[in-house]
Amino acid sequence: MKTLSLKLDDALYARVLAVAKQRGATQSDVVRDAILARLEPSRGKLAGSALDLAKDLAGCVTGPSDLSTSKAHLRGFGR
């Protein structure tokens, strides 16, 4: 395995340290995984349903809860 040196600003270094601690991995493992995820896009893709991928957006819109079923809301739709 080859050695590569790089410079990170304090904020990025802190993020690498935090992820390494969370995973119980080395800093090298975290950086290596991040590089591989960037160079191999299919590896970094998330699997799951559309709801899994957009769960942070689900329920973020306010409005009538019966919009798709209420005839009052559908009156004039498409005109």
CA atoms within 13 A on the CB side of 37: 9
Please, are residues 20 and 29 in contact by the beta-carbon 8 Å criterion?
yes
State the Cα torsion 34-21-53-35 to the nearest 10°: 0
User: How many residues appear in the chain?
Assistant: 79
Question: In the block, which residue shows the tokens 């904020």?
Answer: 11
Q: Is the pLDDT of residue 42 over 70?
A: no
For the chain, the first-to-last Cα distance in angstroms comes to: 66
Q: Is the pLDDT of residue 7 over 80?
A: yes
Please, are residues 67 and 77 in contact by the beta-carbon 8 Å criterion?
no
Task: Please state the domain extents for the chain.
Answer: 10-61
Radius of gyration of the chain measured on its C-alpha atoms: 23
pTM: 0.52
What pLDDT, in 10s, does the model give residues 14-41? Answer: 999 999 999 999 999 999 999 998 888 6
